Structure 1
């Protein structure tokens, strides 16, 4: 399975397609997003295990939005039940994907700590509460480790961009899905830049009227991710909305 290589203008087309999906059920998209955000915040607030558990479940929870997108494109209605799509099919694989991502995050923090950013890593992981002046000093002293961390986290984000959808819809193993997602991102740098720059500008506009624009922008960010995935990867035919494909092998 190979990702499509697309022209830069496709980055704008993904956003338009995502917006069309949003306006099919705008109020319900906002409700779904608020439920999801509330669940993530509450889970993360659990002492000790909250943040790791939220990371493990993140891919499975995000799939619910993708299942909703697919249902709309197949002519069905968006439902609250779609939010649980990732907990009904391929849950183990999606949680495994979350576990791999969590392990890589910890590895990156370890690299940052080993390259002079130990205090910064401790602060980011919530082990120390710093006042602004001390935090500024910590950041200033951790320059190289910050650059290394940004580079490594960027690669991880690229690898996770499409991985949950590849696991769920295409039946690809978690690690192979991350590799394929990274290849797809690098093969489509042009449209990804257009996509990212456009959303940056939209985020500035959404922040102006009391941040109210984010109620529409956040759902469109999610629905356009589905559009992006569908354009780059063939979406297998399914007999029901959101039904995953038969597992395939991907090296």
Structure 2
């Protein structure tokens, strides 16, 4: 009979990261990409085609793509971990998330979709109520009230979307590479992003510029940017969480200390 599965210990609190380390993460993403550029480009193409195909599904396309996104991201992170360990990159590692943690990763995707819906509903409620009030007031004051309400709705959506992106940033890595439960992973992801806000603002700005540059050659640069971003995400997870993982028990931990103190459990 195989031994019972032992659950992975919960992930620790995130560590401190200097803002300049965002450049190191991108450099690590590029280094991992250059280890297997052909396999990465094929993975990125499959990734893009799957998301595009899901998005075009009738009736359910708007929901399928956000739910599937964490599953595919987790697969690319698995590939980055393979390369980091000195192994070869398998193209089918893109589907490691389906093989290993499909249920929890799909739950992350479902929470992602729910967050998007709630953010859109909140923005629509604020903007719609302001528009109705402006119509009731009429004249110039009503127009200004309606415009102000619409701007407020956009601002609320932007803030909620940013929080959702923080929750999604580390969640696939924590579920896939550390076996954290979906909601705990999203909570820890938000905590890590707030804990190192400057570093992630720098990284977001660099990726934003990189996306515009990648779109210039007919969008083909995205086949490079997607794997580099996956490698940078893996490097960010590794630096933010890995140094604080539970340390191995010292060989003499079971022996009483020389001072007579009881060993900690």
TM-score, normalised via structure 2 length = 0.76
* 1:69 aligned onto 2:80: yes
1:49 to 60, 81, 89: 60
Q: What are the within-5 Å matches in structure 2 for residues 113-128 of structure 1? A: 113-117=124-128
Partner of 1:46, secondary structure, is coil
The equivalent of 2:45 in structure 1 is 34
2:232 to 220, 224, 249: 224
- Do 1:64 and 1:86's aligned partners in 2 also have CA atoms closer than 8 Å? yes
Output one character per residue of 1:21-66: Cα deviation in whole Å (capped at 9) or x when no partner. Answer: 0000112111100111101111111111122122222211211100
The equivalent of 2:118 in structure 1 is 107
- Give me the CA root mean square deviation: 2.5
Task: Flag the structure with larger Rg.
Answer: 2
Deviation at 1:169, TM superposition (A): 1.5
- Do 1:12 and 1:191's aligned partners in 2 also have CA atoms closer than 8 Å? no
Deviation at 1:195, TM superposition (A): 1.6
- Do 2:76 and 2:93's aligned partners in 1 also have CA atoms closer than 8 Å? yes
Partner of 2:48, secondary structure, is helix
1:194 to 202, 215, 240: 202
The equivalent of 1:142 in structure 2 is 150
Question: What CA distance in whole angstroms lies between the structure 2 residues aligned with 1:23 and 1:231?
Answer: 20
Deviation at 1:177, TM superposition (A): 0.9
Output one character per residue of 1:163-222: Cα deviation in whole Å (capped at 9) or x when no partner. Answer: 111112112111111111001001111221222233333344444455444332232122
1:210/1:59 CA distance change after superposition, 3 Å? closer
The equivalent of 2:101 in structure 1 is 90
Deviation at 1:141, TM superposition (A): 7.0
The equivalent of 2:173 in structure 1 is 165
Count of residue pairs brought into register by the alignment = 220
- Do 2:75 and 2:96's aligned partners in 1 also have CA atoms closer than 8 Å? yes
Question: What CA distance in whole angstroms lies between the structure 1 residues aligned with 2:70 and 2:213?
Answer: 29
TM-score, normalised via structure 1 length = 0.80
* 1:59 aligned onto 2:70: yes
1:139/1:171 CA distance change after superposition, 3 Å? farther
The equivalent of 2:18 in structure 1 is 7
Question: What CA distance in whole angstroms lies between the structure 1 residues aligned with 2:223 and 2:67?
Answer: 26
Question: What CA distance in whole angstroms lies between the structure 2 residues aligned with 1:45 and 1:207?
Answer: 21
Question: What CA distance in whole angstroms lies between the structure 1 residues aligned with 2:76 and 2:42?
Answer: 12
Gaps of 5+ in 2: 1-11, 130-145, 247-265
